[in-house]
Structure 1
Amino acid sequence: MRKHPIVLGAAALLLAACSSSSPSDEGAPHTPAPLASKTGAGAPGAPRTLVTGLSVPWAVAFLPGGDALVTERDTARLLRVTPAGQKTIIGKVPDVDPQGEGGLLGVAVSPAYARDHLIYLYYTASGDNRVVKAAYDGRLGAARPIVTGIPKGGNHNGGRLAFGPDGMLYVTTGETGEPGKAPDRKSLGGKILRVTPEGAPAPGNPFGSRVWTYGHRNVQGIAWDDRARLFATEFGQDRFDEINHIEKGRNYGWPTVEGVGRREGLTDPLLTWTTDEASPSGLAYAGGSLWAAALQGRRLWQIPLDNGRPGRPIARFHDSYGRLRAAVRAPDGSLWITTSNRDGRADPSKDDDRILTIPLR
């Protein structure tokens, strides 16, 4: 797919081969030369609070029937939430060692759950980050590690899990504040991994290992569009956060480049923001748009897509709910968004943290 990078910043917007203008927030256009048609550009409906009183809900994954599994990073609790907002504490996941940005992070449900009743969790243990699988049928069974040795640190632990359209499990990892891990294909840090449901390197991986792509700083969101194209959010350092189109075997530039570098052998992002506008975490695809939950940006970014090409990003709900962490498409087509106001970087309200549901029109 041809790249058309968009750079959003406090003073400039750059579109490849297009003119530029100053960006702003919701209600004002970011560019006079959008790359996409109106496909997927419809405004979402009003958010509704589904659940309150959570503590850093980090990830959401849906079971058959519509209930969701929700992880809490710092408490290591696994919850079950119904579409009506009923909350059940399944239990505390053993061996989780929450520190800094580490803890109980990603969750995924087996594509064959009706048959195997398996779920997958990504968490920080005493010596590493790891992926485990466990039986769940109302009660959580013993967890069995399937990927171990992912570097851990006080920050940049990655942590997102999702099964792709190909039935393989995708795992995002961070470089734990050590940039040299990102381009090192022998390290599991700063990567997107692609593994079988048993944790082995997936067939067709580019390097004969678990590594699918490399050169990442800290990927915390992945989503596929309706053509099975994979997109990912990535935290920048001082200048630019990113959305990337993820393609097999590519190097996404960190630490050589932050944002668009136009360097041979490195893949530029589709879209960047300044770090105060985004710090993008969870990512969903629904209704023809990507939806990126922004932590420091305290908003939900809508990015319309037209055949995989990004259009003008639109900021939704800026400063309405604080820091936003997870973004997931629910079985009914709505979005579930979690807040992250109890992570030590915000002033939580009495209802925080919460899960919001947002209808798409």
Structure 2
Amino acid sequence: MRKLCTIMLLTAVTACSGAGQVLPSAAVTAGAAPGDPKDVVTGLAVPWAIAFLSDGADSDALVTERDSARLLRVSQAGKVTELGTVNGVRPDGEGGLMGVAVKGDQIFLYYTAEQDNRIVRYRLSGDTLSDERLLVQGIPKGGIHNGGRLAFGPDGYLYASTGETGDRALAQQRDSLGGKILRMTADGAPAPGNPFGTLVYSYGHRNVQGLAWDGSGRLYASEFGASTYDELNLVKAGGNYGWPEVEGRGDDSRFVNPIATWSTDEASPSGLAFANGSLWMGALRGARLWQIPLAADGSAGKPVAHFADRYGRLRAVTATPGGALWVGTSNKDGRGSPREGDDRIMSVTAAAG
């Protein structure tokens, strides 16, 4: 791998180009600190993703548990209803029941099956799932780097993140579904306008774990690095994000630079949400919630860490219809140290950036 010329460690402060030029960060800083988290529900096991059923402030949310393959309905008051164990899920390492997205009465799930990762669609009526339909299969699976995030963009299309499963070369192969961000219709077909006429929207990713859009409709993705730099990327259609040729900022015209990087011990980023002018990113190994204020042009200001080491590994981060955040711990995933009440989902007031 090429040697990187980078001095961006914990914040998007400065970076050096190949010519040694110092590049200033965006002149935007975070506002007041968020309020103390309040438990919504406790006693879960590796809640991986959260998606609200409607835009109403009192909306229930769907929550996936990675290792149990349970799909849960959680009310604002913390009532938990098990909708069922999803068919065909084969939890393995970092794989299992992962992403969830909602469009009307249709529920979309990303999971690890016997031979691959898949995206399926159900219909939800009350607390009953029906009409299972397989939308995408053949996404590479592995003990690590299965991607798994699902989210509908403001364009109405479904986006999915995939990992390269430890097979680094997959990320640069545009005919592979591994190491990509995918964009599709609600029926699983390539969305109109996709850059290559396939499901692939962007490539050169190691393991994207978070997807979020700002108020201007720009797409951001949080991504695991290897041993040096984790990344926050501003994602463009057809963009090549460099893995495995580049980890972090490379200043190579073939690849898109991240807009912020972290050392892997401070982040290992997962869920990502946008609220009140900032991106909010959960950190697994870093065990904190990162707030990244955004400038008007979409560039990142100086990231600020909240709740460091207070709640352990943080994975799921989702904006609520009421403007707060729901944040889920992941201390029962085999890499954390469970605390009393884990795993939990907390409500956090998102301070303005």
- Within 1, Cα distance between the matches of 2:60 and 2:12? 43
| Match status 1:202 vs 2:191 | yes
Q: Which residue of 2 aligns with 1:76?
A: 69
Shift of 1:142: 3.9
How many residues align? The count is 339
2:42 counterpart letter in structure 1: T
How far apart, CA to CA, are the structure 1 residues paired with 2:188 and 2:337? 39
Segments of structure 1 that go 5 or more residues without pairing to the other structure are 21-32
- State the match for 2:329 in structure 1: 339
Q: Is the 8 A contact 1:6 1:271 kept in 2?
A: no
TM-superposed CA distance for 1:12, in Å, is 10
- 1:191 equivalent among 159, 162, 180: 180
Q: Return the letter of the residue paired with 2:49.
A: A
Q: In the alignment, which of 34, 59, 81 is matched to residue 44 of structure 1?
A: 34
String of CA shifts for 1:309-340, please: whole Å, max 9, x gaps. 11110000000100000110000000000000
The 5-angstrom pairing of residues 1-361 of structure 1 reads: 8-9=8-9, 13-15=13-15, 35-38=26-29, 41-64=31-54, 65=56, 66-110=59-103, 113=104, 117-137=105-125, 138-307=127-296, 308-361=298-351
Question: Are the aligned partners of 1:36 and 1:309 in contact in 2 as well (CA < 8 Å)?
Answer: no
Amino acid at match of 2:318: V
**1:129-153 deviations in Å (ceiling 9; x for gaps):** 0000000112111421101110000
| CA distance in 2 between partners of 1:11 and 1:36 (Å) | 13
Look up the SS of the partner of 1:331 in the other structure.
Answer: coil
Q: Which amino acid aligns with 1:247?
A: K
Q: Report the residue type matching 1:68 in the other structure.
A: A
What do you get for the CA RMSD once the two structures are aligned? 1.9
* Cα drift, residue 41 of structure 1: 2.7
TM-score normalized by structure 1? 0.91
Q: CA deviation at 1:350?
A: 2.3
What residue identity is the alignment partner of 1:358? V
Cα 1:270–1:6 change in 2 (3 A) is farther
Aligned-partner Cα distance in 1 for 2:159–2:315: 19
After superposition, the C-alpha distances for 1:99-120 in whole angstroms (9 at most, x for unaligned) are 000000000001xx1xxx1110
Q: 1:141 is paired with a residue of what secondary structure?
A: strand
* Structure 2 CA distance for partners of 1:43 and 1:333, relative to 1, 3 Å: same
Whole-Å Cα distance in 1 between the matches of residues 25 and 10 of structure 2?
18
Contact 1:58–1:72 (Cα < 8 Å) also in 2 = yes
Structure 2 residue matching 1:336: 3-state secondary structure: strand
1:216–1:264 CA distance, 2 compared to 1 (3 A): same
1:16 Cα offset (Å):
6.0
Distance 2:222 2:181 in 1: 11
CA 1:11 to 1:315, structure 2 compared with 1: closer, same or farther past 3 Å?
closer
- 1:15-48 superposed Cα distances (whole Å, 9 cap, x missing partner): 469869xxxxxxxxxxxx652334x533211110
Residues 171/304 of structure 1: CA separation in 2 closer, same or farther (3 Å cut): same
Alpha-carbon distance in structure 2 between the residues aligned to 1:360 and 1:230: 19
Whether contact under 8 Å (1:6, 1:272) holds in the other structure is: no
Equivalent pairs: percent with the same residue?
Answer: 57
Q: Is the 8 A contact 1:6 1:13 kept in 2?
A: no
CA contact (8 A) 1:36 1:305 kept: no
Distance 1:78 1:228 in 2: 29
- Spell out, residue by residue over 1:67-119, the C-alpha distance to the aligned partner (whole angstroms, 9 max, x if none): 00000000000000001111111110011000000000000001xx1xxx111
| Large movers: runs of 4+ above 3 Å | 5-8, 10-13, 15-20
Q: Matches of 1:48 and 1:275 in 2, distance apart? A: 27
What is the distance in 2 between the residues matched to 1:253 and 1:244? 11
* 1:13 Cα deviation from its structure 2 partner: 4.9
How many angstroms does 1:6 deviate by? 8.7
Distance 1:228 1:73, change over 3 A: same
Q: Answer yes or no: is the 8 Å Cα contact 1:7–1:273 preserved in 2.
A: no
The answer for unaligned runs of 5 or more in structure 2 is none
